[in-house]
Amino acid sequence: MSDTKHNWTKEEILEIYNKPLMELLYDAATIHRKHHDPNTVQVSTLLSIKTGGCPEDCGYCPQAARYHTNIEGNDLMSVQQVKAQALRAKASGSSRVCMGAAWRNVKDGAEFDEVLEMVRTINKLDMEVCCTLGMLTENQAHRLAEAGLYAYNHNLDSSEEYYKEVISTRGFEDRLETIDNVRKTNVTVCSGGIIGMGEKEEDRAGMLVALATLNPQPESVPINALVAVEGTPLEEQEPVSIWDMVRMVATTRIVMPETQVRLSAGRTDMSREGQAMCFFAGANSIFAGDKLLTTPNPDVNEDMEMFKLLGLNPQKPFIKKMQPETVEAADSQFQSLGEKPKWSRPDHTIERNEQAKEKAKTLR
């Protein structure tokens, strides 16, 4: 059974967050090396398949229809357009494509059917497929799983207390419900948040409490630094300090040891030295490409240059960190089918080989 702690308190997490920096880094790096290869980083590409026109009022988001930003909206991309972008991402070193649509919630119909076909298409390219489409019902989560979805992203954004200061069109509980619906399938969960929105340290700790007390914890946790966009309510926010990002990454690594911690939005304002500290502190996943949906991101060639400098290697697809109890559940499901699973699982790392990928379709 896992020794992962699921009953973290805000006070415990704040104590970790506020440790002397050198001690915090040492503790986080030690835990990181226990559960992960410190020289391997997952590279993902985030693709906006439907941009702008969202009815929500998220204070950080330039895609909200009510804000006057310079974002050009577009209708849902075609399957062929998405496939071309996925092939380009794969050629540049990405092992995962995450498709984002500016929807409040998924609506059954022609557009959702198109998204399902996109998932099937990218899956055939031997790449992990992630989606972030807004709120999901249990039935929709199962349909995505059947299409071959690998991960679903649904960020909590902040603490439950501060959440209402940023968003009023959707409740914190709505986000947890979507995560719960995803957990009823074999799709992995990607959920994190944003720092630099005017929140206090207590709110950062509160967000980590909400994530770390989930059982199992999310397989991926993106840590975003706010990119203040003109025309949004948060346009005047000062950029978050690199030291705050390092502390947030390190704390996340300590409280969610087996999770992939993703260094997400805001990397364009970080030096290579700052990003290197984040990798040392436990970040082992990034988004590559010149845009994250609509906000700037470092060029993929710059990232590959940084990887070479730091001796980092891109992670292969279909390798994921899971809680041991999740591994045992997968083993049990295989055995119920009368077959022995062929997992490669040092330190609870599961490599989904061809046999595992085919069987996953049965488990869905």
What is the C-alpha to C-alpha distance for residues 288 and 171, in angstroms, rounded to an integer? 30
Active site residue 247: no
* Contact between residue 133 and residue 115 where contact means Cβ atoms under 8 Å apart: yes
E strands in the chain: 40-50, 96-101, 128-132, 151-153, 188-190, 193-195, 220-225, 260-263, 283-288, 291-292, 295-296, 313-314, 319-321, 349-351
Which of the following is catalytic: 96, 130, 175, 253? Answer: 130
What is the C-alpha to C-alpha distance for residues 91 and 224, in angstroms, rounded to an integer? 26
Which of the following is catalytic: 61, 143, 253, 278? Answer: 61
**CA distance to 127, 146, 156, per residue, from 358 (Å):** 14, 12, 32
What is the C-alpha to C-alpha distance for residues 221 and 208, in angstroms, rounded to an integer? 10
Q: Parallel, antiparallel, or unpaired: how do β-strands 188-190 and 151-153 relate?
A: parallel
Expressed in angstroms, the distance from the first to the final Cα of the chain is 24
Active site residue 278: no
Which of the following is catalytic: 262, 267, 278, 352? Answer: 262
DSSP assignment letter at 172: H
Active site residue 345: no
Which of the following is catalytic: 131, 143, 170, 190? Answer: 190
* Contact between residue 59 and residue 166 where contact means Cβ atoms under 8 Å apart: yes
Which of the following is catalytic: 54, 96, 267, 278? Answer: 54
Active site residue 262: yes
What is the C-alpha to C-alpha distance for residues 16 and 217, in angstroms, rounded to an integer? 18
Active site residue 58: yes
Which of the following is catalytic: 96, 98, 131, 175? Answer: 98
296 CB-contact burial (10 Å; exposed 0-12 / middle 13-18 / buried 19+)? middle
Give the residue from 363, 340, 320 showing the smallest Cα distance to 96.
Answer: 320
Q: Could you give the residue numbers annotated as active site? A: 54, 58, 61, 98, 130, 190, 262
